[in-house]
């Protein structure tokens, strides 16, 4: 079974062999090779806060089949998976009546996949990425790493483009509205040390879709996750995308998320970061078309010695574009967070509006939160603003709640719940709200 390694450096022959092993068309092999060229031609980005040289990005190998080949686990194996793994995943999954579709990855296999018959008849697709290459090749070819996330954007993007494996593809035809959410979930199993999944969501003109994405693993294994999410909202389309991760405490998590919006399109991101030892989280939106709108909601909770570096960016190109970025984070123990938010309004993006705000709540004197919101404006006829706060829990609030009979832990839990409530309440997907609330409660135990 072929392997790919960055120590010694990845070679074109290895990447070509990886593509051949996965049975990919020639154009995907060529894209992998071009991404490898971009990777080789760029230096590692210089993080202002995060020392990237400390990340485990050398010496790893990627097994060509490790992250799924589109196959549903056979009967006996599926029963075994469901008995041992789905029990841990089940609390995160919505009920059948609450969902339009469900795709669950356990390790490299699909444990569950279903889509409502009515949506399938209307042309909605919910496929594993390798399956999509076979069954929806032209759609994937048009949109896979061509606009939202591209290898030319950076070293991480290029590495992902060369070595991606597994993931999921969602397509909604023009004018179709998916009223209930589609949920996708990935649970890594021990032995999967390197994960490079790719999520691609394409909403055709005037369509609507809600997607809930989740990822989790145990604390047992060292693991590197370098995933990418692409959202393409064509003219008048709307995508609501709620994603959360609870990776194990020995996981280095790097996730690249970008949306591309055409005229009058809308995207509503909700990103929840809870797990991992080190997290580099990037989620961005390019407001390409006039009248396009973006809403970014970030929720994170770090404890122990977790390190979270989060960057959110809205790029205004079209006229009358609108963006609002809101973030709230809680840190305890020795956890550390870096928040960087940026709005860029380009010349010609007249009438645009871009606002951002981020708040941090510290439960420990050893915890540290840094925030750096910024706005860059090249146009006169616009509105823009930003702000951020960080502070310890008010001891008077804790004293008041304890005087009413609560323990200190119960008092802190109530304060944290109220701190997050404003953002959680506006998440338009019940399954996502429930999952995020559950992860917050676990952090407070």
Q: Which two tokens stand for residue 153?
A: 């954007």
Strand partners, 200: 169, 230
Phi, psi dihedrals of residue 36, rounded to the nearest 5°: -65, -40
Whether residue 366 sits in one domain with residue 288: yes
Distance of alpha carbon 434 from alpha carbon 127, whole angstroms: 25
b/e for 234-243, b at 16 or more Cβ within 10 A?
Answer: bbbbbbbbbb
Task: Find where tokens 């991992």 sit.
Answer: 276
pLDDT tens, position by position, 210-259 = 999 999 998 878 888 999 999 999 999 999 999 999 999 999 999 999 99
- Domain coverage including residue 426: 393-445
Regarding whether 275 and 413 lie in a shared domain, the answer is no
φ/ψ (deg, to 5) at 17? -65, -40
Same domain? 284 vs 298: yes
Per-residue pLDDT tens over the stretch 194-205: 889 999 999 999
For 88, phi and psi rounded to 5 degrees?
-75, -30
Residue 104 lies in a domain: yes
pTM for the structure as a whole: 0.92
Q: Per residue in 384-400, is it b (16+ CB within 10 Å) or e — as a string?
A: bebebebeebeeeebee
Q: Quick one: 425 and 381 in the same domain?
A: no
Asked whether residue 57 is assigned to any structural domain, the reply reads no
Residues 369 and 314 in one domain: yes
Question: In this structure, are 155 and 281 located in the same domain?
Answer: yes
Please identify, among 392, 409, 428, the residue that sits at the C-terminal boundary of a domain. 392
- Coil, strand or helix: which one is 369? strand
Considering the domain architecture, whether residues 264 and 377 belong to the same structural domain is answered as yes
Shared domain for 316 and 400, answered yes or no, is no
Domain count across the chain: 2
**Burial letters for 55-65: b for 16+ Cβ neighbours within 10 Å, e otherwise?**
bebeebbbbbb
| 263, part of any domain | yes
Place of tokens 């997290």: 279
Asked whether residue 326 falls in the same domain as residue 400, the answer is no
User: What is the Cα 273 distance to its own chain's centre?
Assistant: 9
Q: Are both 378 and 399 inside the same structural domain? A: no
| Dist CA 411 CA 417 (whole Å) | 10
pLDDT of residue 125: 98
pLDDT of 92 reads: 83
Helices (H), 11-153: 12-21, 26-40, 75-84, 86-89, 117-121, 129-135, 137-143
Q: Is residue 264 part of a domain?
A: yes
Residues 441 and 382 occupy one common structural domain: no
Is 442 part of any domain?
A: yes
DSSP class of 94:
P
Show the low-confidence residues of the chain (pLDDT under 70): 1-9, 47-48, 52-85, 190-191
Which residue, 392, 408, 434, sits at the end of a domain?
A: 392
Same domain, 359 and 264: yes
Q: Quick check: is 18 in a domain? A: no
Write the DSSP symbol of residue 57. Answer: -
Beta strands in 247-292 (DSSP E): 251-261, 266-273, 278-287
71 CA to centre of own chain: 24
E-strand spans in 317-352? 322-331, 336-345
Distance from C-alpha of 62 to C-alpha of 19, rounded to nearest angstrom: 12
- Tell me the longest C-alpha to C-alpha distance in the chain: 69
Q: In this structure, is residue 148 part of a structural domain?
A: yes
Please identify, among 392, 416, 435, the residue that sits at the C-terminal boundary of a domain.
392
Chain centroid to CA 287: 19
pLDDT at 59: 52
Q: Determine contact, residues 345/315, Cβ cutoff 8 Å.
A: no
Q: For residues 220 and 292, give the distance between their C-alpha atoms in angstroms, rounded to a whole number.
A: 43
Among the listed residues 186, 197, 187, 257, the one whose alpha carbon sits nearest the alpha carbon of residue 227: 197
């Amino acid at each position: 079974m072929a392997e790919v390694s960055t120590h010694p450096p990845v070679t074109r022959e290895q990447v070509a062999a990886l593509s051949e092993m996965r049975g990919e068309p020639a154009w995907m092999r060529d894209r992998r090779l071009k991404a490898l060229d971009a990777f080789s031609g760029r230096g590692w980005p210089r993080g202002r806060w995060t020392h990237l040289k400390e990340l485990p990005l050398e010496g790893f190998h990627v097994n060509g089949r490790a992250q799924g080949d589109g196959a549903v686990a056979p009967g006996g194996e599926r029963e075994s998976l469901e008995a041992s793994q789905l029990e841990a995943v089940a609390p995160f999954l919505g009920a059948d009546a609450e969902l339009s579709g469900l795709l669950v990855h356990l390790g490299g296999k699909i444990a569950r996949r279903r889509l409502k018959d009515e949506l399938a008849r209307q042309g909605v697709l919910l496929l594993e990425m390798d399956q999509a290459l076979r069954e929806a090749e032209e759609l994937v070819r048009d949109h896979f790493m061509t606009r939202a996330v591209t290898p030319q954007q950076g070293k991480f993007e290029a590495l992902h483009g060369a070595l991606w494996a597994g993931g999921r593809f969602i397509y909604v035809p023009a004018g179709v509205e998916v009223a209930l959410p589609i949920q996708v979930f990935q649970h890594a199993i021990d032995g999967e040390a390197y994960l490079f999944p790719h999520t691609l969501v394409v909403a055709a003109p005037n369509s609507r879709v809600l997607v809930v994405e989740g990822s989790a693993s145990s604390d047992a294994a060292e693991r590197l996750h370098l995933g990418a999410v692409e959202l393409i909202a064509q003219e008048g389309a709307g995508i609501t995308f709620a994603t959360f991760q609870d990776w194990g405490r020995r996981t280095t998590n790097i996730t690249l998320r970008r949306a591309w919006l055409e005229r009058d399109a809308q995207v509503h991101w909700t990103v929840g970061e809870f797990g991992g030892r080190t997290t580099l989280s990037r989620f961005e939106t390019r407001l390409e078309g006039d009248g396009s709108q973006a809403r970014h909601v970030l929720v994170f909770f770090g404890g122990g010695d977790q390190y979270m570096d989060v960057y959110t960016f809205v790029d205004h190109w079209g006229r009358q574009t609108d963006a609002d970025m809101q973030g709230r984070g809680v840190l305890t123990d020795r956890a550390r967070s870096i928040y960087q938010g940026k709005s860029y309004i380009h010349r010609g993006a007249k009438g645009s509006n871009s606002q951002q705000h981020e708040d941090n709540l510290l439960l420990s004197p050893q915890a540290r939160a840094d925030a750096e919101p910024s706005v860059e404006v090249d146009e006169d006829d616009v509105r823009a603003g930003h702000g951020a706060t960080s502070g310890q829990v008010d001891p008077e609030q804790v004293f008041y709640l304890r005087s009413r009979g609560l323990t200190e832990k119960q008092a802190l839990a109530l304060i944290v719940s109220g701190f997050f409530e404003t953002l959680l309440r506006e998440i338009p997907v019940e399954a996502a709200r429930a999952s995020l609330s559950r992860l917050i409660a676990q952090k407070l135990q």
